[in-house]
Structure 1
Amino acid sequence: MPSMNDLVRQHTALDDSDLEWLHLLVSEWQLLSDLSFADLVLWVPTSDGTRYVSVAQMRPNTGPTSYQDDMVGHLVPRGRRPMLDAALDEGRIVREGDPEWREEVPVRVESIPVRRESRVLGVIARNTNLLTVRTPSRLELTYLQSASDLAQMIAAGSFPFPNQQVDMDASPRAGDGLIRLDADGVVQYASPNALSAYHRLGLAADLVGHHLGKTTAELAPVRGPVDEALVKLASGWAPREFEVEGGDGVIQLRAIPLKPKGLHIGSLVLLRDVTELRRRERELITKDATIREIHHRVKNNLQTVAALLRLQARRMDSVQGREALNEAVRRVGSIAIVHETLSQNLDERVEFDDIADRVLAMVAEISPGKVTGRRTGRFGILDA
């Protein structure tokens, strides 16, 4: 499958800054797909303006897909899909039209223009599988309203946020936990997963109707600057991520300001319970520190043994015995160098060139005659 870079550069007239904006959008749009319960396909007009090329696709984690096959790389003539034309030409979200039928599955299609500054770079086709439509729950209604707000922000060019590249593997997702705040930072809705995460922090009541920043600050054990940062986070005026530890839990939060028509109407807070993840990380750090300390102590003991052997060699009258002890000194010293190197690394891989150079220098130093060592080539990084 061709990459987005290849497709954009081969078929479109977008420059590198436009491509970077599309990458920023694609890094964020899993959230839009999940909140919409819909597939997303990004269409970009070709250089000659006669066709559209699909450069990216996203399937939802929260609902059935509308496309069984990958759409990336497909070319569609302009005029075949009027909703794409209207969204691109008029710069507005287009929802008109009856559902499409694809393999006996009704699909509702919406077109969302992707705006960057004053230009429309392409169109997102939002495809919702209507086969499993039912009366929506409060959670689903909150999802859909939030998705509508994000879609309007994309059409206005205010989402994604510049210089806010998101690692979707590390950031919270909608299914991990979601809180909807009003313009004052008061909780309007909290998903069951979000409530469970806050209960683990020590919350005994419901979140709805409470100011998220003040509530979170009360649960965090650290006072002072952290409280102020938490309040700013919950206000949702700026996109940012934060981590809070309290009670028996650790939660990761991400605030997304909602400004669908240029006015701040609230914010979306995604959160994830990372208690077990942070516990395992602390265990690994402790294990790494223990292993490095063991290597350090082994190195010290080996250096002590080498010093004793060197002292014994000087006292020995037998030439053969002295040479044997000196050979033992060199071997023990070489092993000590390896353990010293391992004590300074986080993993069990070492740059063996440094070890070889130090061993050569040590051999030249303890040799009875004048010896010069030189390494040719390189060993590279080797497993311990």
Structure 2
Amino acid sequence: MSESTLEQLCKIYTELNTEDINILKKVESTLNIYADLSNANMYIDCKMNENDHAIVVAEAFPSTSDSVYEKSVVGKFVFESFEPGVFYSYRGGKKSLISQAVTQDGRIVEQSVVPIKNGSHQIIGVLIQEKEMSQQSLVRSEQQKYSFGQETLGTMLGDDMGKIPIISSLLMETLLLTDNKNNLIYANPVGVKFITEMSQTDEIQHKNLVELLPFLKQVYDSKEDVFVFDMTLDRKNLVIKKVRLRNKEQHGETLLIIQDITELRTKEKELMMKSYLIQEVHHRVKNNLQTVASLLRLQMRKGSPEESKAYFEDTLNRIYSISSVYELILANEDADDDDVNIIELTRKVCSTLVLNELHKNISLIIQSNGNRILTSSRKAVSIALIINELVQNSLKHAFPEDILGEIIVEFHSNKDFLELHIFDNGVGMKKPRTSLGLEIVHNLVVNDLNGEFQYLPEDVGTHAVIAFPVSPEVVIYYEKENIDS
């Protein structure tokens, strides 16, 4: 059996699977009934997979009245700037009601939009009902919205095209109106400046706009009644929106809205360049750390005294801990984001330490307690070093050789504080001894994290706790109910 138009469009332009498409086909089969029942046009729109637009995949018209559109719109692209209700329903999963929406060919309609969901409650499309508003309905609608000042409001919005409307004069966008022969019949002040600069002439009134600005020819040649076009011209980046107006008072008039986004594009390029530079810095820091680690390993092999090798290993572990932070940042797909997932960082640091102690039978357990914790790269370096020192202490001193052991790293949180618990089931210690490692931990916790560090008494093993406040640099996402908080 041949595929329907809806199936073909969905397979070409969307990421919907066969099950989702079948749901849409069932909805499509009822469109004619609902169109007759409501005396309105019915449509199904779906989001496209390669951009932020939507596409009309099905339509139905009431048999008792004329269609809102002069021709079929199936296969037409839908832009958010013209039909915000469609995208509102897609994002929020809620019904959208717009009393005065603009159709694909410039008509004023009442529009209702409801999301269509699959069995997993995912939005796979939207169902749209459109009913054209008569002039009397428009007047009544406006009178219901505004209780006074109708004439003043009309002047502001520019009902009289012989005068320059106040609102359009304040717009930063170019606003142009041409007749059915493409002659310019209105331009706001920004538009006048734009045309005179681009055409190098002051004689623009009632002149053919395509002759004044030849680059607009492809916009006017497009048969689409609603058209959005990006263009780069003379180092200018422009977004051109065209709406062809069709009603009894306006015969083939075309409204153009031209937005100069050159400055925005320049800022985007600057931000992109900044992101590349930051990424390059991260690469160089990581590479430099690896170079230092390589030099230390080389020194260890070239006859360093046996008693000094332990100090080299401690230093190497600290370097690896810092390097882990930059490896996670560089693995992030978002080049602008230098936040580090502390849970992933802990796994990375601890796994390196355990691998370096292959002769010991140690089980390492990391529990997030349902948290996903992100922090800035600055704090991440401090946390990596703290975890390195405390886990390394357990590996060195808690378990004599050939004894099975367990080290647990846990994260507990509430809205104000984050706690890091590291405990083992080793031989324990009566009193913490002063060492370089514990000095590093204490200084980092107090000075960098503004927190507290202590050992808690345990019957078996040792239990270290670091507590520090949640801040804009430390963000906690609760993936499930945190019963350990």
Q: TM-score, normalised by structure 1?
A: 0.52
1:234 maps onto 2:227 in alignment:
no
The secondary structure found in structure 2 opposite 1:142 is coil
**Distance in 2 between residues matched to 1:351 and 1:143, nearest whole Å:** 61
Q: Give unmatched runs, 5+ long, in structure 2.
A: 1-37, 46-82, 87-95, 104-109, 113-130, 378-485
Matched residue count: 257
1:351 alignment partner AA: N
1:318 maps onto 2:315 in alignment:
no
**Distance in 1 between residues matched to 2:97 and 2:196, nearest whole Å:** 33
- Compute the displacement of 1:180 (Å): 0.8
Change (3 A) 1:298 1:186: farther
**Distance in 2 between residues matched to 1:250 and 1:361, nearest whole Å:** 50
> Counterpart in 2 of 1:381?
374
> Counterpart in 2 of 1:271?
258
- Aligned counterpart for 1:337 among listed residues 295, 320, 324: 324
**Distance in 2 between residues matched to 1:28 and 1:193, nearest whole Å:** 30
Contact map agreement 1:184 1:235 (CA 8 A) in 2: no
Identity of aligned residues (%): 20
Change (3 A) 1:30 1:262: closer
Contact map agreement 2:178 2:253 (CA 8 A) in 1: yes
The secondary structure found in structure 2 opposite 1:380 is strand
Contact map agreement 1:139 1:191 (CA 8 A) in 2: no
Which has the bigger relative contact order, CA under 8 A and spacing at least 6? 1
**Distance in 2 between residues matched to 1:137 and 1:379, nearest whole Å:** 52
> Counterpart in 1 of 2:116?
none
2:366 alignment partner AA: R
1:194 maps onto 2:185 in alignment:
no
Q: Give unmatched runs, 5+ long, in structure 1.
A: 1-13, 33-41, 45-87, 96-108, 113-122, 147-172, 219-229
- Aligned counterpart for 1:127 among listed residues 126, 133, 146: 146
Q: RMSD of aligned C-alpha atoms? A: 4.7
- Compute the displacement of 1:341 (Å): 2.8
**Distance in 2 between residues matched to 1:275 and 1:212, nearest whole Å:** 22
1:93 maps onto 2:83 in alignment:
no
Change (3 A) 1:214 1:293: farther
**Distance in 2 between residues matched to 1:27 and 1:359, nearest whole Å:** 55
Deviations along 1:274-326, whole A, 9 cap, x unmatched? 22222222211111111111111111111111122222233454344212211
| Structure of larger gyration radius | 2
Deviations along 1:243-271, whole A, 9 cap, x unmatched? 33323533322111212259961221112
- Compute the displacement of 1:178 (Å): 0.9
Richer in strand (by share)? 2
After TM superposition, the structure 1 = structure 2 runs for residues 249-328 of structure 1, keeping only pairs within 5 Å, are 249-260=236-247, 265-328=252-315
The secondary structure found in structure 1 opposite 2:336 is coil
Change (3 A) 1:282 1:175: closer
The secondary structure found in structure 2 opposite 1:272 is strand
Change (3 A) 1:180 1:302: same
Q: TM-score, normalised by structure 2?
A: 0.43
Deviations along 1:192-217, whole A, 9 cap, x unmatched? 112334456x4312554455456545
Between 367-376 and 327-336, report the one with greater CA deviation.
367-376
**Distance in 1 between residues matched to 2:317 and 2:190, nearest whole Å:** 61
- Aligned counterpart for 2:178 among listed residues 177, 181, 204: 181
**Distance in 2 between residues matched to 1:133 and 1:341, nearest whole Å:** 60
